[in-house]
Amino acid sequence: MTDTIKDDKNNDFEKSRLHTSIFETTSTLFSNSYHTFIVRKSERLASALYVITGFMPSEEPVRTRLRVCALELITRSASPFELKETGKERFEARCAEIITILQTAHHAGLISGMNAKLISDEYASLAAFVRAHLEKISERGYDLKKSTVSDPKTISTPIRHNGLGLLQRGSNAQRTETKGMNSDFNYRKKIILDTLNKKPNISLRDVMSFIPDVSGKTVQRDLLALVSEGVLVKKGDRRWTTYSKAPSH
């Protein structure tokens, strides 16, 4: 294992630990577990939207609007009393807007149908949860019980990104990723070569920066495979390793 990959794993662990500690530290700011739930779910869904919209052109209006709506929902979820008094309809309307835009983006070929359905279902469940538990969200002392949620697995399952702009749930992500290993590699290969058309050389960290949520080990394996195929040329060692297109390419 190279020093670079060790550093990447340490960074991933540190990010995960920091994210957990932030929520543990700020949990006292939330009214109860119902409030905590909608804030965390809004945050997770916003993160997912940022990932899938990251594959859209920066000037694409759909990308901007989805991100604005997602951030607005985080803001609204953070204030349970305002949500109770005047914000429920606006919260639901914003969820509905996101769902509608996602469908539009799918029909326009900007995102996959699976992504559109997955995120739409999650926002629909978030809106339904707020509607069903509005009174409890703003009251201190309420604890969220599994029995209060009709389908807890659907609502609380974390979203994963498999490196293809495809968001999946739980163990299904691993199965789909295994089946699509070749297509995943071809997709990453295209991104790497497109990048090298714009700059003379790239490093492992460069590739990881524009292919989100793919491990350093996977990216390094891709780069070495392209070197073996004669597509790329490797120069330097360890932290100073760079890759460029072979003369024939």
Q: How far are the Cα atoms of 58, 68, 103, 167 from residue 61, in angstroms, in the given order? A: 8, 11, 14, 21
The whole-number pLDDT of residue 69 equals 96
**Averaged pLDDT, 218-226:** 90
Mean pLDDT taken over the chain: 74
Model confidence at 249, pLDDT cuts 50, 70, 90, reads low
For residue 33, give its domain range. Answer: 14-171
Q: In terms of domains, do 145 and 238 share one?
A: no
Considering the chain, what percentage of its residues have pLDDT values greater than 70? 67
Residues 35 and 42: their CA atoms lie apart, in Å, by 11
More confident residue, 36 or 73: 73
Q: In terms of domains, do 134 and 226 share one?
A: no
Residues 204 and 193: their CA atoms lie apart, in Å, by 13
The whole-number pLDDT of residue 122 equals 92
**Averaged pLDDT, 156-165:** 39
Cβ count near 82 (within 10 Å) = 15
Q: In terms of domains, do 144 and 226 share one?
A: no
In a 13 Å sphere around the CA of 148, the CA atoms on its Cβ side amount to 17
Q: In terms of domains, do 115 and 28 share one?
A: yes
More confident residue, 30 or 168: 30
**Averaged pLDDT, 22-51:** 75
Q: In terms of domains, do 45 and 155 share one?
A: yes
Domain tally for the chain?
Answer: 2
Residue 69 lies in a domain: yes
Among 171, 205, 234, the domain boundary falls at 171
CA-wise closest residue to 33 among 136, 120, 149? 136
Task: Write out pLDDT tens, residues 87-142.
Answer: 788 899 999 999 999 999 999 888 888 888 989 999 999 999 888 888 877 776 44
The whole-number pLDDT of residue 72 equals 94
pLDDT at 44 over 50: yes
User: Which amino acid is located at 115 in the chain?
Assistant: N
Q: Which residues of 63-76 are buried (b: 16+ CB within 10 A; e: fewer)?
A: bebbeebbebbbeb
Model confidence at 17, pLDDT cuts 50, 70, 90, reads very low
Q: Name the pTM for this structure.
A: 0.53
What is the SS3 assignment for the chain? CCHHHHHHHHHHHHHHHHHHHHHHHHHHHCCCHHHHHHHHHHHHHHHHHHHHHCCCCCCCHHHHHHHHHHHHHHHHHCCHHHHHHHHHHHHHHHHHHHHHHHHHHHHCCCCCHHHHHHHHHHHHHHHHHHHHCHHHHCCCCCCCCHHHCCCHHHHHCCEEECCCCCEEEHHHHHHHHHHCHHHHHHHHHHHHHHHHCCCCCECHHHHHHHCCCCCHHHHHHHHHHHHHCCCEEEECCHHHCEEEECCCC
Model confidence at 9, pLDDT cuts 50, 70, 90, reads very low
